[in-house]
Chains A and B, each alone.
Chain A
Amino acid sequence: MRPGFLLLAAALLAAAFPFGPARAAGDAARGRALAEEHSCGGCHGPQGVSGQPNIPSLAGQPADFITLQMILFREVLRDAPPMPDLAQGLSDQQIEDLAAHYAALPSGPAEDRGPRDAGRFHDGALLAERLRCGICHLPDYRGRMQIPRLAGQREEYLAGAMAQYRDGRRHGSDTNMNAVMYGVTDAEIAALAHYMAQQ
């Protein structure tokens, strides 16, 4: 490999991938009103930080990620009750507005987050390094574009999502996550989820 590759790669990373076309973003204020109207906060938390098991936090997720998942729900291509039902009838613009709203909220861990387990955290860190999670999700796991934030997400939700990818029950717009999770054991998933949730 050319020696310049790593340097340039780092520069690209810092620029947070300006590859995609510029586009009119959703309107966060309209999104907030919509979220209230649809009671999204009843499940995902009033500020987008979820206090309920198996319901993910949305605060600070990249807008592209939320938009794509909402489209997959609406088109009934991601089977994850109750979301497909809840997404029916939302227009593309409304989805982009909702995404802008949640992307703008400050991310943070759930209030009911448990204490850090040094052993599992350490295992998770080593696995994340070996499986290169940070390459796509960024080194601080805040996500970018269609790639979600993992840092501070609910632990049991992360573990469930990873098992779904591994077992072929969830697919994104590409098969990267399915391939990443290939052969990862339940114990390894638990360590990864703990590590990410404790960021």
Chain B
Amino acid sequence: MMRTCLALGLTAVLALPAMAQQAATPPAPSWAQGRPDGMAASPLAPHAPRMTVTAPDQVPVAALRVPQGFKVELWASGAPGARMMAEGPNGTVFVGTRTIGRVYAVTDQGGQRQVRTIAQRLNQPNGVAVRDGNLYVVAINRVLRYDGIEGKLDAPGEPADLTQAFALSPEEHHGWKFLAFGPDGRLYMNRGVPCNVCEFDRDRFALILSFNPDGSGQRIEAKGVRNSMGFDWHPQTRELWATNNGRDWAGNDTPEDTLLRIRRPGEDHGFPYCAANWQDPFMQPGRPCSEFVAPAALLGPHTASLGMRFYTGTAFPEAYRNQIFIARRGSWNREQLSGYDVVVAKLDAQGNVTGIEPFLTGLRDEANNRFLGRPVDVLVRRDGSLLVSDEQNGAIYRITHGQ
């Protein structure tokens, strides 16, 4: 079992033709890895993405709910597949995507938003980050830098290609990246595991990595992190915190997604042996959770907890300062939908999570087990407002407080 999983894990997506011809009776395909017999007939599969423009009057903004005193409005639309966000020094919001291969730039134009496509035909350019006015875009196995981007949004020209220096891995499965600059000036990204659950080289996959901005000096910041699609640094302690996606096919309520607090670089968070304080029986021989760092909080089963940021603004009430907003894109591997919202992780002065509270709701229609949208990232703008990207509707919402 373990040997076949190893082979599958590392080649699941590359499917090297030579090997493919050899394997006469392959094991369960990797999309069904770790799937118990009782689930063999489950029809659950990833939801269809929407890659066409959703007209503003079709965006479900009227369904959105935020706590008393807050206001939510449609900030931008017409950006199909909108995912991760980063703000430039002049206030341009850059937006990465996956399936549609584009990067958008959203600017304020006299109270209206203009959405430009500044890059396209890329393989899942999910990661965007800005430093010194330069935009970094990371696709699967590609790193691009657009210098002085805000001065040339209409004609971005050819980016500097840093791909070789970063030497990323070509795996497509969980190969898209979240990207951010740390307070140390280094560029951080995840490297997900190329399977659902499998044995793999734990120094090569399921990592959070950091690099010098030119791609040199790779360092492992966290190990055993199945796939993190969001991280940020505590504004005071500068500790790295990250969301992490639990695996599929272990049941409706197992395991939960997690919020990780990474106190020391290189710490091991347990995947594939342990996730969310649950020792995965799929791994034989296993390793107990006591060998690994425990998560700071649990974020619900299959919720797809992705983008997260500490609230660093002053426009929201004091109680939100240095708390974490987390976008939960929503489940597919669960009979009753979970997630499809934005929650707040409440931290006390010691950095212990004291609770996970709902913040933006309304996109999950519980009664009909339907969803209306899929929040992927949150971004605190310099004016203290909070942006939320909705991948399904190609839209960005803006949340403000008071008037």
Tell me if A178 and B13 are in contact (CB < 8 A): yes
Interface string of B343-361 (1 = CB under 8 A from A): 0000000000000000000
Tell me if A1 and B251 are in contact (CB < 8 A): yes
- Complex interface: chain A residues within 8 A of B371 (CB): 19-21
With A23-B54, A183-B20 already in contact, the answer to whether A178 and B49 are too (CB < 8 A) is: no
Tell me if B45 and A175 are in contact (CB < 8 A): no
Identify the stretch in B34-42, B260-268, B297-305 within 8 Å (CB) of chain A at 4 or more residues. B34-42
Report the interface size class on chain A: 35 or more
- Complex interface: chain A residues within 8 A of B368 (CB): 18
Which of A19, A64, A68, A77 is the one whose CB lies under 8 Å from B369?
A19
With A20-B47, A21-B392, A96-B52 already in contact, the answer to whether A181 and B15 are too (CB < 8 A) is: yes
With A77-B101, A182-B11 already in contact, the answer to whether A67 and B47 are too (CB < 8 A) is: no
Interface string of A26-56 (1 = CB under 8 A from B): 0000000000000000000000000000000
A-B interface pairs (CB < 8 A), number:
160
Which of A19, A21, A95 is the one whose CB lies under 8 Å from B373?
A21
B-facing residues in A135-174 (Cβ within 8 Å)? 135-136, 145-147, 165-168, 171, 173-174
With A1-B38, A185-B24 already in contact, the answer to whether A9 and B43 are too (CB < 8 A) is: yes
Report the interface size class on chain B: 35 or more
Is residue A132 within 8 Å, beta carbon to beta carbon, of the partner chain? yes
Distance between Cα atoms of A72 and B81 in the complex (Å): 13
- Complex interface: chain B residues within 8 A of A95 (CB): 52
Is residue A118 within 8 Å, beta carbon to beta carbon, of the partner chain? no
Is residue A92 within 8 Å, beta carbon to beta carbon, of the partner chain? yes
Tell me if A175 and B24 are in contact (CB < 8 A): no
Tell me if B15 and A182 are in contact (CB < 8 A): yes
Tell me if A146 and B48 are in contact (CB < 8 A): yes
Tell me if B42 and A183 are in contact (CB < 8 A): no
Identify the stretch in B25-33, B183-191, B284-292, B312-320 within 8 Å (CB) of chain A at 4 or more residues. B25-33
Tell me if A182 and B30 are in contact (CB < 8 A): yes
- In angstroms, how far is the closest chain B Cβ from the Cβ of A34? 15
Between-chain CB contacts (< 8 Å), 8 pairs: A1-B36, A12-B44, A19-B370, A21-B373, A136-B45, A179-B13, A181-B20, A182-B12
Task: Return the 4 tightest CB-CB contacts between A and B, nearest first.
Answer: A1-B38, A183-B26, A183-B23, A145-B48
Point out residues on B near A: beta carbons under 8 Å: 8, 11-15, 17, 19-21, 23-24, 26, 29-32, 36-55, 58, 60, 80, 98-102, 120-121, 123, 172-173, 251-252, 332, 335, 337, 368-373, 392-393
Point out residues on A near B: beta carbons under 8 Å: 1-2, 5-6, 8-10, 12-13, 17-24, 64, 67-68, 71-72, 75-77, 92-93, 95-96, 131-132, 135-136, 145-147, 165-168, 171, 173-176, 178-186
